[in-house]
Chains A and B, each alone.
Chain A
Amino acid sequence: MSKLIMRGVSKAYGATLALRRGDLTVEGGEVHVLIGSNGSGKSTLCKVLAGSVRPDSGEILIDGKAVTITGPHAARTSGIGIFYQELSLAGHRTVAENICLPDMPGGIFVDRAALESRAQRYIALFDTVSGEGFSAEAVVENLRADQRQLVEIMKALATEAPITIFDEPTSALDRAQVDRFFEILRDLKVEGRSIIFISHRMDEIFAIGDRVTVIRDGETVGTEKIADTNPGAVIRLMVGGQDELAPGASAPPATAAARNGAVLTIANFSGKGFANVGFEVAKGEILGFGGLHGQGQSAVLRAIFGANPSSGGTLALSGSAFAPSDPRAAIRRGLAYVSGDRSRDGVISGRPILENVTPIHYLRQKLFLARPSALAERVKPALEALHTKFAGLSHPINSLSGGNQQKIVIARWLIDRPDVLLLDDPTKGIDLSAKADLFSLIRKLAAEGMGIVLYSSEDAELLNNADRILVFNGGKVRRELTGADRTRYNLYQAAYEAA
């Protein structure tokens, strides 16, 4: 009898179907790899199991018995433990307290002796690789990133759950730490425990996995024995029969850089979350950033714009050197940045549409007065270029739909045109017609000579719109895809390459 069976699990967020039909069967004593591209639904499937998302339909059986997972606590009592990303640690508390946090020994008062001895069991597992300064009493926020990740792993192990989910548990670990972690996982297998393992490193998947389940477009498309398959076959399963390039996608101007000259040149660029990134963007070119979520694409774009600090590298705009300091300086030099997180970085909430479109114009033109009639004449064409629907410029931006709000935010860059437009997952959470409007505008801007960098977490958007794609993995550019190489297969292969 299988340890865990998930059958036909579905989940929709509003009109977006995140998971159409998720199936997963995990045996006792196996490491089961879950794999899928961005937005495929694998995280949703995990969240359903961890109790943080309630599914719309489907059934879950543990040891053959149907269970309903109503919340994180119910997941724990059903025997499911989960490794969370770093965020779940209590920074001011000690390693021991964090490890035992999910279930503290003692009643009202914490039994410190029991806590220490229990934590010590898991700390000892990593004794040889945990590094200097790592102890039960160490305060978590004083630890290095890899050590904090070890605490997360120990915390997950301490739940002693029959089924444990590890979602990218090795991203900060070094080779020796990963090897030790894998030894421990193999010991758990021998004990008959089930491990669900998510990773974006193909070498790790093949080193530790017993079976792999592939999810594509919200649907489980297959489960294979690792021993019977190979990385290429797994990627082909992820790609499926999807079009490599949508019909009508423009032929890449392969010689654009040579013909037009670079508007943005970057070399050896490093900062938090990325290292040694280098590329050129030609006038009129759309350069795509691809790969899995959070591999440094967004960090690079924000650092170029001066919104996040960078630690080194050289940048030049149309040949003249540029040192990112803050967005204000970047805007003056002709850079533009559109964030996918519009409620945080874009929308000036509660204010009229007019005031949401004009800030860049004020800065570029060094204006002092804001005359509504004069501004309206400037603003209207920018809004019309995106087919923005709005009742009046004095209406608050919050009265618009998400897609129209994002159009307003983009329109602010269209009055005084920048030389380089940085798009950081700009279509997140907006409707299809807004997306279509946006991409036709981007094409037009490129044709008029703007250099565009497009990061999108939707692979189809990248493949359809970018002339060239840089695939990021672990904060570095792993591969450049040009011309006929711009295929989903190549994109996934580079994204899952060993970091």
Chain B
Amino acid sequence: MSATTQTQAATPSPVLTFLKQPLVVALILIAALLLLGEALSPGFASGQQILRLLIVAALLGIVAAGQNLVILGGREGIDLSVGGVVSLSAIIGGNLMNGTDAGILPAILGCIAAGAVIGLFNGLGVTLLRIPPLVMTLGMLGVLQGLLVVIRNGIPSGRAAPGLSQFVTQPFLLGLPGIIWLWVAIGLLLAFMLGRTVFGHRIYAIGSNEQAAFMAGVPVKRTRIALFMLSGAFAAVAGMCLIGYSGSSFANVGEQYMLPSIIAVVFGGTPLSGGKGGYTGTMAGAVLLVVLQSILTTVHIDESGRQMVFGATLLILMLFYGRGRAMRA
């Protein structure tokens, strides 16, 4: 008892505290990785290349926004279906647009609606049927993968509207493409929502102590369902942007987002147990992962190798956070 009090009393230096913040750690790592990339392959950290990395990071970051919210809500919250939603959204969006700018608005609305409905099912399963989120969203992922096969019949279909492609890839404002601005807007919106709205405070409350939140009149189930719906909607937006980035959709294009979206959240300082953290760190986490992925590509590590590195990264992070929790207790 007295020993713990003493260690708490001994405040670490402010510099060390600053350096230990997940956001700062991520930013330092990003800078280091960029330098490493530049050393391995000159031109890696050129302006054009960094811009391309940021676009890819924005795609991942938008998926991770929803993942982040679900994880913040606690009770083992996780959304494994995001990859399926990204793929489905890319197909729906591609077909609704079919290469015409007139189709952009219906495509956006259609995709977000589809994502939100999938999230609604996830949320209902988790709250009303009390299915663990891991199982519920994994099941949903299976359903979506099957659905994709049925819809496409194995043939790629749908094309991005020129306007959308331009929004994602061409400079829009201050030399940055629209998707970067969209991502920044989402970042500001979530920071405001989590910090300055009642809904945001309710997310933290149910994530920290669900029973206490319930006793204080927080609509626990409704809030949690909303989180899964938001996750579906964000994944759908990312799917739309993805088809704008690549022009057309190909098989299971969204699959690559499931694991990285979780790693970005954890890297950004939101523990998988929920109740604390936020989106700013997750944004840095997304950039970090994309830079890491790019370096792995530069040194000719193929997709399977990259997956292994990502999996190992998540496990190492868990080890790190697990130890942190034990020390706090």
Which of these, A331, A344, A370, contacts B198 with CB under 8 Å? A370
Quick one: given A362-B198, A369-B197, A369-B198, are A351 and B205 in contact (CB under 8 Å)? yes
Q: Which residues of B contact A358 (CB under 8 A)?
A: 201
In contact, A370 and B205 (Cβ under 8 angstroms): no
The answer to whether the Cβ of A434 comes within 8 Å of any Cβ in the partner chain is no
How far apart sit A372 and B195, CA to CA, in the bound complex (Å)?
A: 9
In contact, A348 and B205 (Cβ under 8 angstroms): yes
Which of these, B196, B211, B218, contacts A359 with CB under 8 Å? B218
Q: Which residues of B contact A360 (CB under 8 A)?
A: 216-217
Which of these, B199, B200, B209, B214, contacts A347 with CB under 8 Å? B209
How far apart sit A369 and B215, CA to CA, in the bound complex (Å)?
A: 21
Q: Mark A359-371, 1 if CB is under 8 A from B, else 0.
A: 1101100011111
Quick one: given A369-B196, A369-B197, A370-B197, are A351 and B208 in contact (CB under 8 Å)? yes
The answer to whether the Cβ of B275 comes within 8 Å of any Cβ in the partner chain is yes
The answer to whether the Cβ of B219 comes within 8 Å of any Cβ in the partner chain is yes
The smallest C-beta distance from A396 to any residue of chain B, in angstroms, reads: 9
**6 CB-based A-B contacts, threshold 8 Å:** A307-B214, A327-B216, A344-B212, A355-B205, A359-B216, A363-B218
In contact, B200 and A370 (Cβ under 8 angstroms): yes
Q: Which residues of A contact B275 (CB under 8 A)?
A: 349-351
In contact, B205 and A359 (Cβ under 8 angstroms): yes
Residues on A close to B: CB < 8 A? 305, 307, 326-328, 331-332, 337, 339, 344-351, 355, 358-360, 362-363, 367-372, 412
Quick one: given A328-B219, A351-B205, A359-B205, are A371 and B196 in contact (CB under 8 Å)? yes
In contact, A355 and B201 (Cβ under 8 angstroms): yes
Closest 6 CB pairs of A and B: A359-B216, A363-B217, A331-B217, A328-B217, A362-B198, A345-B215
In contact, B209 and A349 (Cβ under 8 angstroms): yes
In contact, A359 and B197 (Cβ under 8 angstroms): no
How far apart sit A368 and B214, CA to CA, in the bound complex (Å)?
A: 18
Quick one: given A348-B209, A349-B209, A351-B275, are A339 and B215 in contact (CB under 8 Å)? yes
Q: Which residues of B contact A348 (CB under 8 A)?
A: 204-205, 208-209, 212-213, 216
Q: Which residues of A contact B212 (CB under 8 A)?
A: 344-349
B-side binding surface: helix, strand, loop or mixed? Answer: helix
Quick one: given A327-B214, A369-B196, are A350 and B276 in contact (CB under 8 Å)? yes
Quick one: given A368-B198, A369-B198, are A346 and B204 in contact (CB under 8 Å)? no
Of listed B205, B209, B211, residue having the most chain A CB within 10 A: B209
Of listed A348, A351, A367, A368, residue having the most chain B CB within 10 A: A348
Q: Which residues of B contact A351 (CB under 8 A)?
A: 204-205, 208, 275-276
Count, A-B residue pairs, CB within 8 A = 80
Count B interface residues, CB 8 Å.
Answer: 23
In contact, B208 and A349 (Cβ under 8 angstroms): yes
The smallest C-beta distance from A424 to any residue of chain B, in angstroms, reads: 11
How far apart sit A369 and B197, CA to CA, in the bound complex (Å)?
A: 4
Q: Which residues of A contact B205 (CB under 8 A)?
A: 348, 351, 355, 359
How far apart sit A345 and B211, CA to CA, in the bound complex (Å)?
A: 6
Q: Which residues of B contact A339 (CB under 8 A)?
A: 215
Tell me the nearest residue of chain B to A329, going by C-beta: B217
Quick one: given A328-B217, A363-B217, are A344 and B200 in contact (CB under 8 Å)? no
Q: Which residues of A contact B202 (CB under 8 A)?
A: 359, 362
Q: Mark B217-230, 1 if CB is under 8 A from A, else 0.
A: 11100000000000
In contact, A327 and B209 (Cβ under 8 angstroms): no
Q: Which residues of A contact B213 (CB under 8 A)?
A: 348, 359
The smallest C-beta distance from A220 to any residue of chain B, in angstroms, reads: 30
Which of these, B201, B214, B218, contacts A370 with CB under 8 Å? B201
In contact, A350 and B217 (Cβ under 8 angstroms): no
How far apart sit A371 and B197, CA to CA, in the bound complex (Å)?
A: 8
Tell me the nearest residue of chain A to B200, going by C-beta: A370
Tell me the nearest residue of chain B to A359, going by C-beta: B216
How far apart sit A351 and B278, CA to CA, in the bound complex (Å)?
A: 13
Q: Which residues of A contact B201 (CB under 8 A)?
A: 355, 358-359, 362, 370
Q: Which residues of B contact A350 (CB under 8 A)?
A: 208, 275-276
Tell me the nearest residue of chain B to A344, going by C-beta: B211
Tell me the nearest residue of chain A to B8, going by C-beta: A399
How far apart sit A326 and B217, CA to CA, in the bound complex (Å)?
A: 8
The smallest C-beta distance from B223 to any residue of chain A, in angstroms, reads: 11
Tell me the nearest residue of chain A to B214, going by C-beta: A327
